[in-house]
Amino acid sequence: MREVAIIGIGQTPVDEHWDKSLKELAAEAILAALTDAGRDSADALFIGNMLSGMLSKQENLGVLISDWIGLPGMEAVKVEAACGSGAAAFRAGLMAVSSEEVDSALVIGVEKMTESLPIETTEALATAADADYESAQGLSFVAINALVMQLYLHTYGWKHTDFAPFSINAHANALHNPYARLHETITEKDYINARMIAEPINLLDASPTGDGAAAVLLVPADSVTAQDHRIIIKGSSSATDSIAIHSRKDPLWLSAAVKSARKAYDQAGVGPEDIDFFELHDAFSIMSVLSLEACGFAERGQGPRLGLDGDISINGRIPITTRGGLKARGHPVGATGMYQIVEAVQQLRGEAAPTQVENSRIGLTQNIGGSGATIITHILTSD
């Protein structure tokens, strides 16, 4: 088992890319990552994607993309774990390099959602939930999260307004990220007055989807010397919970996040107190709160306090969604986990001004597939 480093990153803006197909978005991010690393090829390609078969009528993405980027012949495969596909592909690439099966691996998360009808997208996203016991009842993804948020407000006595800081913080950070989907400051008043989607989740609790791709190049850590271009993967762990939330003893406790984060902390030899920033999976504001609690940054039921106290801001105790998060950078589902990794690398390289976290050395990323069902945690360090 050898240590693995990220030596190149690339991304496209998250947007409605009417002029670019899935493979063109993928190529843009991959070529940027190769250029950033000063390389022109890699041994293997791991692709995180959830929806291409359903929305683009295209599977076999491995060969589609390796062919399109001018590297036919290379090993290439797609990895799927719903909205956790990006980090799942990253972990597959990590294991490929770490096992010595390959000496370099490109990992990309890519998703193309714009060209489909909204109803098609909603149905396709619902395949992340239990088809028999959730989707078949008409339970969409936002509805599942609304049930969880409702239960949280009821159980712990918070008001909906107490969640405003998560959305406000994400938008504030995205303002300075040229790759973000949304570039608009929002206020608490905007949050309170936002259109209701599925009570209590309103438009500003929910992340926007979009088209996008984000990529990295992985190589053995001992093959690189230049300190400024070497980010090390110190922790990597993936865990699951039941797919349907009704099967869980406590729907407000992300047990897969607890399990996955604890293992990653152990591997890296660190704890929550050592983490300089946390790119979490804020598909809905309730998920920010549950993730912070599961990963040891707040007591159970006390997550909203971190927002109200300013702890989550760039200069706070545990900065989150430093480049906008899913809420404002956007959530091109299978690509999201790779955006988180790319953004963590930007922070660790010191390339995230003006939302740079000072003295940033240890970053935590966490990507979720389904409603807390598949959770993949990574810890990256700058040395």
Residue 221 lies near its own copies (rule: CB under 8 A):
no
Residue 99, interface with its own copies (CB under 8 A)?
A: yes
28: nearest Cα among 211, 208, 281, 181: 211
CB of 73 to its own copies, least distance (A): 6
Is residue 177 a contact residue for its own copies (CB under 8 A)?
Answer: no
| Closer by beta carbon to its own copies, 45 or else 306 | 45
Residue 18 is given by DSSP the state T
The residue among 43 and 190 lying less far from its own copies, judged by its C-beta, is: 43
Cα four-point dihedral sign 266, 370, 86, 319: negative
56 binds its own copies (CB under 8 A): yes
123 part of the interface to its own copies, by CB under 8 A: yes
Closest-CA residue to 87 (of 283, 333, 346, 349): 333
Is 295 a residue of the active site? no
CA distance 372 to 253: 9
CB of 94 to its own copies, least distance (A): 8
Instruction: Starting at the earlier edge strand, list the strands of the sheet with 212-220.
Output: 44-48, 105-111, 212-220, 4-11, 231-240, 374-381, 362-369, 277-279
Tell me which of 7, 37, 50, 264 binds its own copies, using CB under 8 A.
50
Q: Could you say which of 11, 12, 135, 367 contacts its own copies (CB under 8 A)?
A: 135
Task: Please report which helix (H) or strand (E) contains residue 141, including its range.
Answer: helix 141-156
Which residues, other chains included, contact 378 with Cβ-Cβ below 8 Å and sequence gap of 6+? 87, 90, 91, 233, 235, 236, 264, 341, 344, 364, 365, 366
Chosen residue from 41, 60, 137, 193 binding its own copies by CB under 8 A: 60
Query: How far, in Å, CA of 166 to CA of 81, rounded?
Result: 25
Catalytic residue among 83, 281, 295, 378: 83
* 306 binds its own copies per the rule CB under 8 A: no
Instruction: Verify binding: residue 51, its own copies, rule CB under 8 A.
Output: yes
> Considering the rule CB under 8 A, would residue 64 count as an interface residue with its own copies?
yes
Measuring CA to CA, which residue among 146, 124, 134, 169 is closest to residue 329?
169
Q: Which stretch binds its own copies (CB under 8 A): 25-33, 44-52, 204-212, 297-305?
A: 44-52
Instruction: Considering the complex, state which of residue 54 and residue 203 has its C-beta at the smaller distance from its own copies.
Output: 54
Q: Choose the binding region for its own copies from 62-70, 203-211, 280-288, 316-324 (rule: CB under 8 A).
A: 62-70
Count CB neighbours of 203 within 10 A.
14
Only one residue has tokens 């890296």, namely: 268
Task: Kindly list the distances between the CA atom of residue 147 and the CA atoms of 59, 297, 370, in Å, as whole numbers in the listed order.
Answer: 33, 23, 14
* DSSP state for residue 283 in the 8-state scheme: S
User: Is 17 an annotated catalytic residue?
Assistant: no
Among 236, 285, 321, 381, contact with its own copies (rule: CB under 8 A) = 236
Residue 53 contacts its own copies per CB under 8 A? yes
As annotated, the active-site residues are 83, 331
Binding site for its own copies (CB under 8 A): 1, 21, 44, 50-54, 56-64, 66-67, 72-82, 88, 91-92, 94-96, 98-101, 123-124, 126-132, 135, 236-244, 247, 255-256, 259, 369-370, 373-374
